[in-house]
Chain A
Amino acid sequence: MSRKTNQQFVEGITQQLDKSTELDEHSLDSLAAARQRALAAIPQKPSKNYYWIGGAITTSLLAALLWLTPSTTERAPKLDLAELEWLLESDDLQMLEDELPFYDWVEMEVEAG
């Protein structure tokens, strides 16, 4: 009988080893449990969507905080519409001129009295 080549010899060994990989139920169960433990060990990385959601929540909170915080600067007095109209209307200069003699008379009366 001729001697096998190295390759044939190695193939003979590996074929036998391949046959031995048919495992019993208990070993398969243990390996399944090992797989589950390994898969549970995968680091939990937040996905990109979570980054967006996190950014949006932070921005919203910041905006709400700014909106609700009372301003430390003194508010300008409110002007209502009537006051605004009064400020905007032009003065009647003729009327003021007509009233001047009246004020002169009042002043003279006060001094005399």
Chain B
Amino acid sequence: MSNSDVRPALNDFFVAVQAKALRQAEIALGNRDEAMDIVQEAMVKLASKYASQQPSWPQLFQRILQNGIRDWFRRRKLRQWLSLSFTEQDGSESERLECEALVSTETPESLHLESQQLYKIEMALKQLPQRQQQAFMLRAWWGADTNETAFAMQCSTGSVKTHYSRALAKLQHLLEDLQ
């Protein structure tokens, strides 16, 4: 497929997945701007490296996106570790980062726009460990099967099953009133 054929197809693919990808990254990171950066990086990486592999775009995009989210958490952890080790802060910075995910989207406006139910769901998802959250979002929301989820998360299918079942159990506990 020539370059000119790929562009419209890839654009259509991005249009189809962009909103979900942005929301998933936003729920994971707790910040829309940073989520936007990660989605954009994933798009650029897919286009620059895998434009010719059209049948595998969904899996490859998921893998790149999940990697981006994981790298963001690694960087944050490193920042936290550095701030604790070298600057001897009183923990306010790490505390701020810890809370950032929970508070940054909790504007009155967003609360007004989103239903109370959605707000509770997002809060519950944010309380899941990152890998459990990824497994749940990929399996339940994106509809990926176990193999596709394992490919995106770069782990075994057994791990995917474990993460997913734990995520489900925790969500059922956290969202008991929705049941």
Q: Which residues of A contact B (CB under 8 A)?
A: 3-4, 6, 9-10, 12-14, 16-17, 19-23, 27, 30-31, 34-35, 37-39, 41-45, 47
CB distance B23 to A38 under 8 Å?
Answer: no
CB distance A34 to B40 under 8 Å?
Answer: yes
CB distance A30 to B19 under 8 Å?
Answer: no
B89 interfacial by beta-carbon distance below 8 Å: no
Cβ contacts B78-101/A at 8 Å (1 or 0 each): 000000000000000000000000
CB distance A39 to B141 under 8 Å?
Answer: no
CB distance A43 to B141 under 8 Å?
Answer: no
Contact of A31 (CB < 8 Å), options: B3, B22, B175? B22
Query: Using Cβ atoms and an 8 Å threshold, which residues of chain B touch A13?
Result: 121, 140-141, 171, 175
CB distance from A37 to the nearest CB of B (A): 6
Query: Using Cβ atoms and an 8 Å threshold, which residues of chain A touch B14?
Result: 31, 34-35, 38
Which of A6, A12, A21, A22 is most buried by chain B, counting CB atoms within 10 A of its CB?
A21
CB distance B168 to A27 under 8 Å?
Answer: no
Query: Using Cβ atoms and an 8 Å threshold, which residues of chain B touch A19?
Result: 115, 118
B172 interfacial by beta-carbon distance below 8 Å: yes
Contact of A20 (CB < 8 Å), options: B15, B23, B171, B178? B23
Contact of A42 (CB < 8 Å), options: B15, B18, B48, B179? B48
- C-alpha gap A34/B7 in the complex (Å): 14
List the count of A-B residue pairs having beta carbons below 8 Å apart.
95
Interface bin, chain B? 35 or more
B135 interfacial by beta-carbon distance below 8 Å: no
CB distance A42 to B22 under 8 Å?
Answer: no
- C-alpha gap A78/B121 in the complex (Å): 99
Which of A27, A30, A38, A45 is most buried by chain B, counting CB atoms within 10 A of its CB?
A38
B102 interfacial by beta-carbon distance below 8 Å: no
Contact of B114 (CB < 8 Å), options: A20, A35, A38, A44? A20
Which of A3, A10, A17, A30 is most buried by chain B, counting CB atoms within 10 A of its CB?
A17
CB distance A21 to B23 under 8 Å?
Answer: yes
CB distance B36 to A31 under 8 Å?
Answer: yes
- C-alpha gap A20/B44 in the complex (Å): 24
* Contacts A9-B179, A10-B140, A21-B20; A38 near B121 (Cβ below 8 A): no
CB distance B168 to A10 under 8 Å?
Answer: yes
B10 interfacial by beta-carbon distance below 8 Å: yes
Query: Using Cβ atoms and an 8 Å threshold, which residues of chain A touch B20?
Result: 21
CB distance A39 to B22 under 8 Å?
Answer: no
Query: Using Cβ atoms and an 8 Å threshold, which residues of chain B touch A34?
Result: 14, 18, 36, 39-40, 43-44
Query: Using Cβ atoms and an 8 Å threshold, which residues of chain B touch A30?
Result: 36
Which residue of chain A lies nearest to B43 when distances are taken between CB atoms in the complex? A38
